[in-house]
Amino acid sequence: MLKTCLLLAATALSLCAWSQKQSITWGDEFKLRKGSTSVNVVYTDASGVYLEEGHLALKSYYVIGASARQSASLVKLDKNLQEVYRSDFNKELRGKEFETFFAFRDKLLIIATDYNKSDRALEVYAAEVDKSSGELTESFKLMTSLLKEEKKDEISFKLIPNADTSKIVCISTVSGKEKNTYQVQEFDKTLRSTTKPAIITNEFEAKTYQLEDVLYTADRKIILVGRVFEYQEGKKKKDKFLDFANYNIRIYNDKGKQVSEINTNINGKWLTNTKLMMSKGKDLVLASFYSKEKKGATNGLLVQRIDPSTGQVISTAEKEINYSMLTEEGAEEDKDDDKDSDSKAERKEREKLAKIKDEGEGFSKYMRFRNIFYTSDNGLVLLAENYHQYTYTTSSYSPGTNGMPGRWTYYTNYVYECGELMMCKIDASNNIGWLEIIPKAQREVIRTNDGSSAGGLSIRFGGFFESGSRPFYAGFGAIQAKNQINIVFNDNPKNADVLKPGQKVRGIAGFRNSDCFIVTLDEVTGKYQRKLFFSNSEVPTAMPRHGSVIGQEMYIVGKTDRLFGKTKLAVGKIASN
């Protein structure tokens, strides 16, 4: 009888989820102000949405020139996505460098820094913004000072909330040293420090260790997730390159002393990407994709529940992923993907890129976790995608005229390839309930003119201190609402009926000609539907990956870059009805 009741309840929830409909409302288009460099959603509340519009501001003026600093404007839009105010904070930031806007509970803070040359200290300041007016409620307060040992050292820092979002945590590091050193300090809602700085070091060379994630628990345990690399011999004599070796996950107390280490050496399994999270039961949950051989294809998913005090594994679940479930390497390019006059040249560049990529050393294809949602039945839904990120350089020659010499121009091409989407349910007993894969093949290439003569291919894995603003149009965004998860992404219009592995997939690279699709996933059963949401040819091209979620609404920015004229922007609000 009990089983029957549970089944009926689950069925009712499922039917309720499918009955929901999603809609998007776009605000009026507006132009990016002169000198602006970027725009993204930083916060949303019941009164509207807040955008950060980055730009340069005058730092100092000289007789023969001037210097600039990074700054930003805060733009508020109301519930109808109409502009309420625009605050640039140039006066308040005078003498300081803008760093970021930071949302903490119901507050919106502006973070800035100032370098004290005499003390070799990077001073971190914060001030609260009055969200109704866009003015500062107070002058900047000094949060902390981060010290250099050598003048050439560079300091990176990042603010995160702790596990229960009751405190602010500042994690910093000083690059330029032979060894890795990290400083972790906790602050309360008044921006006062509540702990002394914890200094953490490890035995790895700075170049062979990359911090990927930090988890700060409510009882002040610090968990560092790092990628360890090893030097390998290159194809040419005396050439060496760094090759990914394994993950290193260690737990420290609030004094910076190591208390345990999580074992990542699992017989016959090569961990290629991991995600560590705190479960509602206060245990750690470690989800990992693995390969059966180094540089091999993704072979499976491993989920472990871990005791945070000892680092010991409590339970393990495993699910093999048949490679036939994944999109074949090199999804078919759509000849109509980009109809501009330079589409043929771009296709030739992509063909050349594929050859360069295959010859690269230390390159591997891997799955990356993107989103984690807690479900009403005390389970987890994991969303991940197949992801490549790498750079290569190209050059072009312009012949001279009227006796003037020709000129070489060098470009750095940043390539982001976002492949199939994986959806997986972990139940309350740590078992893998279901696993589904939707094929897609997005590629975004961002080219910059750097004037450098360097060449070749390099592979990059996003580190903890990197902003992660790219790619803009590839990838996906997701929002949870009423026992379902809505997944939004740009794709080739010819992939409208692609739902399962094995179906023919068209690649997409010209996103202004793409369609935006929404996949509605039932978090109980794993069943899903896909439908056309809107066409990007009718609105500024959507950036779902950078969507911001509050409650059951998601805000996304659409952006259309112009060769001549100002960039056009619009903000859309996705709601479930």
| DSSP assignment letter at 211 | E
Mean pLDDT of 293-308: 82
d(CA 85, CA 366) in angstroms, rounded, equals 43
Q: Any idea which of 117-121, 152-156, 185-189, 462-466 has the lowest mean pLDDT?
A: 462-466
Per-residue pLDDT at 65: 40
Q: What is the pLDDT of residue 361?
A: 36
- Rounded Cα gap, residues 368 and 384, in angstroms: 5
Lowest mean pLDDT among 132-146, 174-188, 326-340, 365-379: 326-340
pLDDT at residue 331, as a whole number: 58
Q: What integer pLDDT is reported at residue 37 of this predicted model?
A: 61
**Residues 230-239, mean pLDDT to the nearest whole number:** 69
CATH fold of the domain at 179-325: Lipocalin (2.40.128)
- Residue 67, token pair as written in the block: 């210097």
Mean pLDDT of 186-213: 92
Report which listed range, 49-63, 325-339, 479-493, is most confident. 479-493
Residues 410, 398 contacting (CB under 8 angstroms): no
d(CA 117, CA 151): 9
Peptide bond into 471 cis (omega under 30): yes
Pair type for strands 121-128 and 141-147: antiparallel
**Residue 552: is its pLDDT beyond 90?**
no
What would the mean pLDDT of 512-532 be, rounded to a whole number?
95
Read off the pLDDT band of 318 (50, 70, 90): confident
pLDDT at 209 over 70: yes
8 A C-beta contact, residue 84 and residue 78: yes
Residue 214's pLDDT is: 93
Between 11-15, 22-26, 279-283, 318-322, the lowest mean confidence (pLDDT) is in 11-15
Q: Which amino acid is at 322?
A: N
The answer to whether 121 touches 145, Cβ cutoff 8 Å, is yes
Question: How far is it, in rounded angstroms, from Cα 72 to Cα 82?
Answer: 19
Find where tokens 């592979």 sit.
459
User: What average pLDDT score do residues 229-238 get?
Assistant: 72
**Which of 478, 519, 529, 534 has its CA nearest to residue 24?**
534
Query: What pLDDT, on a 0 to 100 scale, did the predictor assign at position 370?
Result: 92
**What 3-state class would DSSP assign to 538?**
coil
What's residue 223's pLDDT?
Answer: 94
Q: Over 50: is that where the pLDDT of 457 sits? A: no
Alpha carbon separation from 287 to 142, 222, 307, 368, 384 (Å, rounded):
38, 18, 14, 11, 11
CA angle 220, 286, 43 (to 5 degrees): 65
Give the separation between CA 557 and CA 486, rounded to whole angstroms. Answer: 17
Contact 533, 518 (CB under 8 A): yes
Over range 483-511, report the average pLDDT. Answer: 94
- Give the mean pLDDT of 557-576: 79
Virtual CA dihedral for 71, 557, 460, 203, nearest 10 degrees? Answer: 60
Enumerate the domain spans of the chain.
179-325, 366-538
Q: What is the mean pLDDT of the chain?
A: 81
Instruction: Write down the residue that tokens 């953490």 correspond to.
Output: 200
More confident residue, 100 or 562: 100
**Which are the contacts of 239, defined by CB distance < 8 A and separation ≥ 6?**
233
- Could you tell me the pLDDT band of residue 128, with boundaries at 50, 70 and 90? very high
Sign of CA dihedral 229, 204, 218, 547: negative
pLDDT of 554 strictly over 80: yes
Report the distance separating Cα 69 and Cα 513, nearest Å: 36
Retrieve residue 377's tokens: 């039945």
pLDDT at 165 over 50: yes
pLDDT at 332 over 80: no
What is the rounded CA–CA span in Å between residue 226 and residue 276? 11
**Considering only 324-328, 442-446, 525-529, which range has the smallest mean pLDDT?**
324-328
Top pLDDT among 185 and 73 is at: 185
If pLDDT is split at 50, 70 and 90, which confidence band does 447 have? confident
Return the structure tokens found at 242: 């760094």
pLDDT at 383 over 60: yes
pLDDT classification of 87: cutoffs 50, 70, 90: very high
Q: What integer pLDDT is reported at residue 146 of this predicted model?
A: 94
Q: What are phi and psi of 204, to 5 degrees?
A: -85, 150
Cα-Cα-Cα-Cα dihedral sign, residues 475, 477, 480, 486: negative
Q: Which of the four pLDDT bands, split at 50, 70 and 90, describes residue 349?
A: low
Of residues 6 and 299, more confidence is placed in 299
Query: Is pLDDT above 80 for 522?
Result: yes
The pLDDT value recorded for residue 481 is 87
**Tell me, what amino acid is at 479?**
I
The pair of three-digit structure tokens given for residue 344, joined into one six-digit string:
């043929």
pLDDT of 336: 60
% of the chain beyond a pLDDT of 90: 39
How far apart (Å, rounded) are the C-alpha atoms in residues 445 and 390?
10
Question: Whole-angstrom Cα distance, residue 220 to residue 174?
Answer: 22
Tokens at 470, concatenated: 């790219």
Structure tokens at 481: 């609402």
Query: What number is the average pLDDT over the span 145-164?
Result: 88
Overall average pLDDT of the 313-325 stretch? 78
Sign of CA dihedral 529, 534, 535, 541: negative
Q: Alpha carbon of 291 to those of 161, 274, 438: distances in Å?
A: 33, 12, 20
In angstroms, rounded to a whole number, what is the distance separating the alpha carbons of residues 305 and 285?
A: 5
Q: Does 392 or 125 have the greater pLDDT score? A: 125
Backbone angles phi, psi at 346, to 5 degrees: -65, -35
